[in-house]
Amino acid sequence: MNRIVRLDARQEAELQRVADKFVAYHKGDVMKALKEMIVLNSELQQRLEDIGDSPIHLVRGRAYQ
């Protein structure tokens, strides 16, 4: 992990709501939900790294070379 993210009470409550919904989607299987989230996170990280390596970068919704 590269950095620590601090959440305020509102953000923490929203994160808890989304996490509960994600676990419910997996029929209450917390480990299955966690494993899927790890896979999704690694796929997103790879996409971000691929974008960072490309000569075209998005800045505020616009492409720049």
Asked whether residue 54 is assigned to any structural domain, the reply reads: yes
Asked whether residue 1 is assigned to any structural domain, the reply reads: no
Asked whether residue 53 is assigned to any structural domain, the reply reads: yes
Q: What pLDDT, in 10s, does the model give residues 1-60?
A: 578 889 999 999 999 999 999 999 999 999 999 999 999 999 988 888 888 887 665 555
Pairwise pLDDT comparison (43 vs 65), residue with the higher score:
43
The tokens for 3 are: 């950095």
Asked whether residue 41 is assigned to any structural domain, the reply reads: yes
Domain containing 15: what range? 9-64
Amino acid at 18: V
Q: How many CB atoms lie within 10 A of CB 12?
A: 11
Q: Give the DSSP per-residue string, 22-62.
A: HHHHTTT-HHHHHHHHHHHHHHHHHHHHHHHHSS-EEETTE
Confidence bin at 63 (pLDDT 50/70/90): low
Asked whether residue 24 is assigned to any structural domain, the reply reads: yes
Number of domains composing the chain? 1
Asked whether residue 17 is assigned to any structural domain, the reply reads: yes
Question: What local confidence, expressed as pLDDT, does residue 64 receive?
Answer: 46
Question: What local confidence, expressed as pLDDT, does residue 57 receive?
Answer: 58
